[in-house]
Structure 1
Amino acid sequence: MQFADRLNQVETSAIRDLFKLLGKPGIVSFAGGFPDSAMCDVEGIRTAVNAALTEDGGGALQYGATEGYPALREQLASFMAGKGAQDVAPEQLIVTTGSQQALDLLAKTMISPGDKVIVEGPTFLAAIQCFRLYGAQLVSAPIDAQGVQTDVLEQLMAQHRPKMLYLIPTYGNPSGATLSLARRKRVLELALQYQCLVVEDDPYGDLYFDAPPPPSLLALSPQVPGSREWLAHCGSLSKVLSAGLRLGWLIAPPELLAKAVMCKQFSDANTSTFAQATAAHYLRAGRMPATLAHVRKVYAERAAGMGQALRRELGAAIDFVPPQGGLFIWARLTGAGGKIADAQELSPRAVEKGVAFVPGAPFYCANPDRATLRLSFATADLPKIEEGVRRLAQAL
């Protein structure tokens, strides 16, 4: 068969490929990028399912509007208002099949072959793959603990005149970095100055451990008049309610949103009405604040436990900035004491010892740092985290 030329631009996910190695009994996995299913509010979701079937069972089991289930759009607009985006009306967002579909719709509507797209280095692997599938030329912008370095970003925007800038400003995947308030405002100014669409991907913003993060770019956009016209915001319920419901949303300027709806019609007609009705009832019941409080507490304990274990077991052989939220510790092997300094070399040795992580190189669109690695603390309890880190130290 002769496949589409665009498939030559991508390859299978390094993370998904790694999962094939994890069939070994007793392995401790720090590789996944998903939340702990044990913390899902099963009872609350069961109640929401029953309410959806009782109040409008026929509607919940039928096709729905491509834009989304009206009751869920209303609840999501209220949810965003609670996070500082006060002026988001239900008709200004569409419901997507996970925020990954939102990224795909943005790529379909915005990217022509050869268009320049700036991404963080490192960034979400699936975003790299998605943008390349549509022919984007990716440009890497460096980050530090405060997110993308806006002085360098400005130089890159002036040089490349990108059509799109993709950021995960809050507890980034994989970096865990959070863009500072000053840099957030600067990003909005640059978007307006260079008329470049900024895509704010925000699946982790509710998962803070102590103090809440700075307001989202969306919430800050009124402070930079005109920037809202160059901003798209992607949200998700996968990390805070249920990954299996596959529910996300896209907030974007009206013209872009209309094009995204048209492309979604071609893709799946509409996101599961039943899943949307369930989520709408769950949000309306007011259970989300308690769910988030519980999840934040557990993840904060696991993040701290993993950090302490890494310091104790690996010492100077590893370096990282403790995360303030999200699901990941982004670390770098230093090679101290003659230890391995290449995460891709370490990965198979670690699997042999019974622990798995994701090497950092695939998260870069260019010039990968092979010493980096991503460790997820989300799905392992504290005893497993300590055992996994001990095994990692043995592999090193």
Structure 2
Amino acid sequence: MKFRYTKSVPKNNDNATAEILKAAANPKVISFGGGLPAPELFPVEEMKTAADKVFDKYGKVVLQYSEAIGYSKLRKQIIDLMKERKVEVKLDNVGIVTGSQQAIDLIARMLLNPGDVVITEDPTYLAAIDVFNSYGANIVGVSMDDDGMKTDDLEKLVKKYPEAKFIYTIPNFQNPTGRTMTEYRRKKLVKIAKDAEIPVVEDDPYGAIRYAGNYVPPLKHFDRDGGVIYLSSFSKILAPGLRMGWIVADKSFMNKFVMLKQNADLHTDNLTQYIVSQFLIDVDIKKHIKDITHVYEHRANLMVKQIDKYFPQNVNHSNPEGGMFIWVEVPGVGDTNELFKACIRNNVAFVPGSSFFAGDIKPGTFRLNFSNMNDDQIKEGIKRMGKSIAEILSDNKY
């Protein structure tokens, strides 16, 4: 049988995400690849208790169809979470999604026609790149430094591409670099977007996990005209298997969004929405996040220390103030995929930087995840990576 696929289906079977997960599944491999939270921090017993309460109170309700926009009680609780993040919203502005990944896909579906321009940080989240490509977008990258997206460069690109459909950004502990955008640049980005009448999609799955530096409000905090579409998730602060995220946007946008959401899956899992809502009643979420943050701070600091010990002295790496990732740049490595293969031979894995670039790929770059490995694994894994880097540099005669 010959299937006549649309242009949104990739022409080959290359799947960076699948390869990352495959490497992580090998028990011999110490994987710094997938952006996986620490499973020992999942609130299993608390979730079980919440589920029992939900079935006792609402058993027949939670097993029935529900509203596409989401469970109203959970949405009200999200309003409280947003207040903690210095964003005031109303119930009509909040919707529940099946992980923030679904929101990225639906927003792209709403706004993109083939050939339309999307402006992103470069590098950026690889699954967002995949989504935008699937809708035929022309992805234009904005360079970054330690302060996040370079807004001077963004301003130039907006003038070059005034028809751009939206700007996609991860301002907090960015995936893949771990960098955080300064407040000055956030304000400037919002102004640039407003003046150009280009919406901003702010993806903030990691923002609650800050363990250094000073809190910086989301872009949405500075938005006075409804131009910022804010996304977040319970994946990093509770558990990714819940597939539970949310969107905050202008009411007129939400009306359209909910229609497409309904077409996609009718509604996000009703039972899980009730369980998460009950969990937020039963458990001090601030303390839970604080416990996660403490562990991730330790692991991030340990990984940085090991990188400084075992990697060549001229290696550059980010120093994240939160989140789950460290970005590494190794001068002299011409093909990061060859380094990846060398690391796999030494039973350690990472994500090559090539997966994250919308524009020209910067060689010798890769992302490390520290949240899912214990101390011994971090120490041994980085040691193995240092050995692999030395092998590649030796082969290249550097």
TM-score (structure 2 length as normaliser)? 0.94
Q: Which residue of 2 is the match for residue 196 of structure 1?
A: 198
Q: Which residue of 2 is the match for residue 32 of structure 1?
A: 34
Residues 345 and 213 (structure 1), Cα distance of their counterparts in 2 relative to 1, 3 Å cut: farther
Pairs within 5 Å for 1:270-309 = 270-309=267-306
CA distance in 2, matches of 1:11, 1:131: 17
The unaligned stretches of length 5 or more in structure 2 are 390-398
Q: Which of residues 171, 174, 179 is equivalent to 1:172?
A: 174
Provide the secondary structure at the position in 1 that maps to 2:8.
helix
Q: Which of residues 345, 348, 353 is equivalent to 2:341?
A: 348
Q: Which residue of 2 is the match for residue 127 of structure 1?
A: 128
Q: Which residue of 2 is the match for residue 245 of structure 1?
A: 242
Amino acid at match of 2:368: L
CA distance in 1, matches of 2:25, 2:323: 26
CA distance in 1, matches of 2:245, 2:126: 18
Residues 10 and 279 (structure 1), Cα distance of their counterparts in 2 relative to 1, 3 Å cut: farther
Preserved contact between residue 208 and residue 296 of structure 1 (Cα < 8 Å): yes
The unaligned stretches of length 5 or more in structure 1 are none
Amino acid at match of 2:262: Q
CA distance in 2, matches of 1:194, 1:200: 17
CA distance in 2, matches of 1:8, 1:310: 36
Preserved contact between residue 92 and residue 251 of structure 2 (Cα < 8 Å): no
What is the CA distance between 1:135 and its match in structure 2? 1.6
Q: Which residue of 2 is the match for residue 56 of structure 1?
A: 58
Q: Which residue of 1 is the match for residue 357 of structure 2?
A: 364
What is the CA distance between 1:212 and its match in structure 2? 4.5
Q: Which residue of 1 is the match for residue 378 of structure 2?
A: 385
Q: Quick check: 1:266 aligned with 2:227?
A: no
What is the CA distance between 1:63 and its match in structure 2? 1.3
Q: Give CA-to-partner distance per residue, 1:264-320, whole Å, 9 cap, x none.
A: 111100000010000111112242111101100000000000000010011315211
CA distance in 1, matches of 2:27, 2:277: 39
Q: Give CA-to-partner distance per residue, 1:9-49, whole Å, 9 cap, x none.
A: 78643132243345544211100112111111112212211
Preserved contact between residue 9 and residue 135 of structure 1 (Cα < 8 Å): no
What is the CA distance between 1:8 and its match in structure 2? 4.5
Q: Which of residues 212, 215, 232 is equivalent to 1:210?
A: 212
CA distance in 2, matches of 1:139, 1:232: 19
C-alpha RMSD of matched pairs (Å): 1.5
Preserved contact between residue 329 and residue 374 of structure 1 (Cα < 8 Å): yes
Q: Which residue of 2 is the match for residue 236 of structure 1?
A: 233
Preserved contact between residue 13 and residue 125 of structure 1 (Cα < 8 Å): no
Amino acid at match of 1:198: V
% identical equivalent positions: 33
Q: Which residue of 1 is the match for residue 393 of structure 2?
A: none
What is the CA distance between 1:385 and its match in structure 2? 0.1
Q: Quick check: 1:150 aligned with 2:148?
A: no
Q: Which of residues 45, 48, 51 is equivalent to 1:46?
A: 48
Q: Which residue of 2 is the match for residue 185 of structure 1?
A: 187
Residues 341 and 316 (structure 1), Cα distance of their counterparts in 2 relative to 1, 3 Å cut: farther
Q: Quick check: 1:109 aligned with 2:110?
A: yes
Preserved contact between residue 92 and residue 254 of structure 2 (Cα < 8 Å): no
CA distance in 2, matches of 1:213, 1:34: 24
Q: Which of residues 3, 6, 9 is equivalent to 2:5?
A: 3
Q: Give CA-to-partner distance per residue, 1:124-143, whole Å, 9 cap, x none.
A: 00111111111211101001
Amino acid at match of 1:365: A
Residues 209 and 46 (structure 1), Cα distance of their counterparts in 2 relative to 1, 3 Å cut: same
Preserved contact between residue 306 and residue 377 of structure 1 (Cα < 8 Å): yes
CA distance in 1, matches of 2:73, 2:132: 32
Count the aligned residue pairs.
386
CA distance in 2, matches of 1:5, 1:389: 40
Residues 25 and 284 (structure 1), Cα distance of their counterparts in 2 relative to 1, 3 Å cut: closer
Provide the secondary structure at the position in 1 that maps to 2:172.
coil
Provide the secondary structure at the position in 2 that maps to 1:315.
coil
Provide the secondary structure at the position in 1 that maps to 2:133.
helix
Of 134-143 and 314-323, more deviation after overlay is shown by 314-323
CA distance in 1, matches of 2:241, 2:11: 29
Amino acid at match of 1:345: E
Preserved contact between residue 15 and residue 31 of structure 1 (Cα < 8 Å): no
Q: Which of residues 367, 370, 374 is equivalent to 2:367?
A: 374
Of 365-374 and 49-58, more deviation after overlay is shown by 49-58
CA distance in 1, matches of 2:337, 2:174: 21
Q: Give CA-to-partner distance per residue, 1:103-158, whole Å, 9 cap, x none.
A: 01101111111111101100000111111111211101001111100000000001
Q: Give CA-to-partner distance per residue, 1:302-347, whole Å, 9 cap, x none.
A: 0000000010011315211211111010010123xxxx45322110
Amino acid at match of 2:359: A
Q: Quick check: 1:67 aligned with 2:69?
A: yes
CA distance in 2, matches of 1:158, 1:140: 14
Provide the secondary structure at the position in 2 that maps to 1:331.
strand
Provide the secondary structure at the position in 1 that maps to 2:312.
helix
